[in-house]
Structure 1
Amino acid sequence: MGGGATKINKDAIDITHFELERIIGQGGFGKVYACRKKSDMGKLNDKESWYAIKKLEKDFILKSKTGVESVFTELSSVRDLIHQNICNCHYGFLSDDAVYIVLDIAFGGDLRYALKQSKIKEKSTKLKVFDEYRAKFYLIQVLDALDYCHSKNILHRDIKPENMLIVTNGYLKLTDFGISLKCDNIEECKARSGTMGYMAPEIIKSGSSHGTPSEWFSFGVCAHEFLLGLRPFDAKKLALCRGGIDDDLRNDMKLKELENAKDLSAEGKEFIQKLVELSIEDRLGTTGGSKTIREHPWLKDFDFAGIIAQSIKAPFMPDVTVANCDTGSNDAEEMFGGMEDEVKVSFTPEQQAKFNGYGYNMETA
């Protein structure tokens, strides 16, 4: 398919070492392709191995104020993270018009797409949800991945279903570290970043610091979305937290959907309520960290060891023969073809220089 007859560059890792098969995801800067490695260059002996290649168009990167910083940030973070519930990085390289990062493959798509394909909670609302067992299965893996990131002084800062990918065996990998932050004290971060609707109030509030408890808030938003089919707070209402949280705002942001959920256990309701607590001091995980989340009654009896060993059968097995993503196109050639026909964009030497130093090769690291 994509570039199968292209001569392999023997001097350095680049796109010629990979055969592109099909699109498995796409976002603002570009597309993610399933690919096979066509050669060995070092110690990994990974010829014919499957990977995901994220191709980020330089044109789009340069149009964003933080685009260049984002691609360097993602590579810097993921190259330092090796965990079964994280999309580990294997290679990073450049072409004239794009930035590439080669990651673990996840044929099952993301949890946003999985939610769209899941059961309907209520015919009147058409809300899609996971059952409690399936939600726990995913959340425990995200919790483990975040715990590992925090141990490496890295905040992910963009926890949402789109960044949780299902692999062939039904297990989960966390991805997209483009706005992650690595620092000596991850509890005193002041840089505001994230996706509205998932961002904790303390991130939105001007001048306040935030850290791991903010990740637990986003984690709780995902739990609410998995089990009730929607986020707990409207993004516009969360934005009002910029000026602080008073009694009127707190009353206006009551978790009515959670309170009225008939099919959700009392423990599940409390778990979510404590995670999406607007006050950081009262939020689950602020005191005691992830240990208190693991020990919550809703999770504590789940087989954590089985999750870590991946000995538990996943509650959902993806069909890896189809594209588990919204491609925005019914064009089979675009879906399953390569990238040779894409329009080339010219860049100035000054623009190209912004990408100097980008690169990683696990085979020689």
Structure 2
Amino acid sequence: MSSDDASPRTLRDLLSALRRGLIDADKARSSARGRLERGGPLEAGGLADLLGLNDAGQGEDELQQQLQSECQFLEGVPFQPGSCIGGKYEVRKILRGGFGLVYLCRSLAPELYHRGDSLAALKCPLPQHLTDPELCELFVAEAVNSVALTPHPNLVLAYGVEMHNRIPFLVMEHITGGRTLVEEIENGRTDWRTTLRHGLDMARGLAHAAQEAQLIHGDLKPPNVLITGDGVAKVSDFGLSLSADAAGADGLIAGTDGFMAPEMVARRTGRSTVADVYAYGVTLLCAVLGRFPEAARPGDLCTAAHMPEPLAALLRECLAIDPAARPANFQIIAARLEGMSGFLLGARPSQPAAPDAPLRADALVNAAQTWLNLGQPRKAQAEVEHALRLNSANWKAHQIQNCIHLERRDFDAAYRSAKQARQLALDEPGPAANLAQAAMSLGRRDDALTWLDLALELAYESGRMGELDGSSLLFVELLPAEQALQVLDAIVTAQPGAAITWNNRAILLRRMKQPAEALASADHAIALNAAYAKAWTNRANALIELHRFAEAQTSASTALDLDPCLPGAYCAKATSLAQQGRLPEARAAIRSGLSLLPADPLLLRAAQVFAE
């Protein structure tokens, strides 16, 4: 839907659309403003009717308030148009989906994920979902399943997962000039001919996902189909997908009302390929009819719809109430659509051009970084070894090897890998910073300082100070306080969204006996990522030094809710409780920490301090 669309919209339409990511806040606000300017009630119908989402249980005032709240939410997201993510991506536009934010960006990095333009789409969990393990798991599932797929012209290509501000971002291809199938339907650009072509594209993409990674999509619907400027359909959003191997035990009822198969609604089965086939049939019927098929048996509407009988027959089979009567998989559907395209459209459809994917070795490096970011170093190791067999001079592969070795605490191997990366990329600050980290882990402080000075020099010369965000704690540990503060300030000046540096800056300012400034810096990190547990711990420590003990207790408790394995948070909580005269509760906090981390030296010392 475009912001200048003159067709009327109810507030219920707008709210449903905004929550499901079908429109962004600007469009919703513009439509709501138009409603107020026109005055009076709007006609029923529109987007929510298309998807069968209308809910008559809410009044206009409540809907208006909720719509305003949703719009304000997007205004408060950490990255706004014009700002940068990780020093690598300039945000151009923000979209909100049901489970995530999508930033449409221009890449600023000298090396891109792909060989074409500099555009990319970065998806991350909604801020409030970062503290919900179940919803974070949905995001991780989408990331894993998307990255597992090799490039296909009818699937949105995922390049990999990057971590920025300790938040995972799924980096995907940017569909220039793309529209969702919802927009195509709403604007009257779909009929049986376009439906046949889009349906074939979707079936090809879903067949590839099944053959390549045995994936079941789980949430097929018009918003999850993108149409390129050339009219090619691409399936996106594998957030509810799962492997066919897991489907037998899958009892999760997940998906969108109206698109879920009858057996799922009746809770007889979970997600399955034939359930995807049913959702696919509803999606295509929406495109033919131009609206949501309001009927107990949507397949009954195929006969009266304006489309050739071969296509109607296929949709009736896809929409069969009995799962066994549906086509068994998307390979079968694709073959049938290819066959009927020749005589219905007058020409057999051609396969679209492959997406602009990275070279194979680079793609494997992206996958290795993804697995490492998702906490799976064994898979990362397998991918990076494959990449190095294809191209031993890929410096990023050696850099990832360094990170894997650091995680395994094999510091000698980490140093060797960082040295190889450094030799292959003399102008890059990253390998030099990694050498500093490995040397520090080996207890070679002077070597660490030498490499850190080189990383700083390279970052200054290339104007890439923001790339040192992940290494900012090294500056705190190795440089004199005033000099370290200058470096950290230079990093956040170059990259205001550098949450790790803001957090480490709070540590440094506390050491410099500036608790109020430390508190402000920790608050800045939390504003960028409300689920940043260590920043909540540093906030608690700054509040303790400011004698604001009740607030410190709350911040420490928040840190432990986010990550129960932070010894510093237990100590901060115990200290704030003791300062409020609640010594038994302080001792209980330390005992709670020791039950999870029995050998932690900080907690063992705290137990002595708070001993009875």
Query: 2:376 corresponds to which residue?
Result: none
Whole-angstrom CA distance in 1 between matches of 2:530 and 2:103: 23
Query: 2:92 corresponds to which residue?
Result: 21
Query: 2:265 corresponds to which residue?
Result: 204
The one-letter amino acid paired with 1:71 is: F
Whole-angstrom CA distance in 1 between matches of 2:333 and 2:529: 51
The one-letter amino acid paired with 2:215 is: I
SS in 2 for 1:162: helix
Q: Is the 8 A contact 1:140 1:304 kept in 2?
A: no
Which of 191, 203, 218 is residue 131 of structure 1 equivalent to? 191
Considering fraction of residues, name the structure with more strand.
1
SS in 2 for 1:137: helix
Q: Is the 8 A contact 2:90 2:105 kept in 1?
A: yes
Q: 1:47 to 1:17 in 2, by over 3 A?
A: farther
SS in 2 for 1:51: strand
Deviation at 1:207, TM superposition (A): 4.0
Which of 75, 78, 81 is residue 149 of structure 2 equivalent to? 81
Whole-angstrom CA distance in 2 between matches of 1:352 and 1:48: 38
SS in 2 for 1:102: strand
Q: 1:256 to 1:225 in 2, by over 3 A?
A: same
Deviation at 1:291, TM superposition (A): 2.1
Query: 2:139 corresponds to which residue?
Result: 71
Deviation at 1:275, TM superposition (A): 0.9
Whole-angstrom CA distance in 1 between matches of 2:137 and 2:216: 16
The one-letter amino acid paired with 1:92 is: V
Which of 28, 39, 49 is residue 109 of structure 2 equivalent to? 39
The one-letter amino acid paired with 2:161 is: G
Q: 1:47 to 1:16 in 2, by over 3 A?
A: farther
Q: Is the 8 A contact 1:153 1:186 kept in 2?
A: no
Deviation at 1:183, TM superposition (A): 4.3
Q: Is the 8 A contact 2:220 2:276 kept in 1?
A: yes
The aligned runs of 1:304-319 (5 Å cut-off) are 306-309=350-353
Deviation at 1:97, TM superposition (A): 7.2
Which of 284, 290, 298 is residue 331 of structure 2 equivalent to? 290
Query: 1:11 corresponds to which residue?
Result: none
Query: 1:275 corresponds to which residue?
Result: 318
SS in 2 for 1:66: helix
Whole-angstrom CA distance in 1 between matches of 2:173 and 2:265: 33
Whole-angstrom CA distance in 1 between matches of 2:164 and 2:561: 13
Q: 1:89 to 1:206 in 2, by over 3 A?
A: same
Structure 2 length-normalised TM: 0.42
Q: 1:145 to 1:45 in 2, by over 3 A?
A: closer
Deviation at 1:67, TM superposition (A): 0.7
The one-letter amino acid paired with 2:82 is: G
SS in 2 for 1:215: helix
Which of 210, 220, 231 is residue 292 of structure 2 equivalent to? 231
Which of 221, 228, 234 is residue 167 of structure 1 equivalent to? 228
1:260 aligned to 2:342? Answer: no
SS in 2 for 1:35: strand
Deviation at 1:210, TM superposition (A): 5.3
Which has more radius of gyration? 2
Farther off after superposition, 84-93 or 153-162: 84-93
The aligned runs of 1:339-354 (5 Å cut-off) are 344=528, 346-347=530-531, 348=533, 349-350=559-560, 353=563
The one-letter amino acid paired with 1:224 is: L
Q: Deviations over 1:19-41 (max 9, x none)?
A: 11223x32234432221211135
Q: Is the 8 A contact 2:120 2:172 kept in 1?
A: yes
Q: 1:57 to 1:96 in 2, by over 3 A?
A: farther
Which of 79, 83, 90 is residue 3 of structure 1 equivalent to? 83
Deviation at 1:84, TM superposition (A): 1.7
Which stretches in structure 2 are left out of the alignment for 5+ residues? 1-80, 355-495, 498-523, 534-558, 565-612
The one-letter amino acid paired with 2:93 is: R
The one-letter amino acid paired with 2:182 is: R
SS in 2 for 1:16: coil
* RMSD across aligned positions (CA): 3.3
Higher relative contact order (CA 8 A, sep 6+): 1
The one-letter amino acid paired with 1:220 is: G
The one-letter amino acid paired with 2:97 is: G
The one-letter amino acid paired with 1:80 is: A
Deviation at 1:344, TM superposition (A): 4.0
Farther off after superposition, 137-146 or 78-87: 78-87
Question: Share of identical aligned residues, percent?
Answer: 19
Q: Is the 8 A contact 1:39 1:46 kept in 2?
A: no
Query: 2:204 corresponds to which residue?
Result: 144
Query: 1:117 corresponds to which residue?
Result: 187
| Count of residues paired in the alignment | 285
Q: Deviations over 1:307-361 (max 9, x none)?
A: 3458xxxxxxxxxxxxxxxxxxxxxxxxxxxx9799545333456559xxxxxxx
Q: Is the 8 A contact 2:121 2:173 kept in 1?
A: yes
Which stretches in structure 1 are left out of the alignment for 5+ residues? 5-13, 120-129, 238-252, 311-338, 355-365
Q: Deviations over 1:70-107 (max 9, x none)?
A: 11101100111122211111232333474421101123
Q: 1:149 to 1:304 in 2, by over 3 A?
A: farther
Deviation at 1:110, TM superposition (A): 0.9
Q: 1:203 to 1:299 in 2, by over 3 A?
A: farther
Q: Is the 8 A contact 1:187 1:212 kept in 2?
A: no
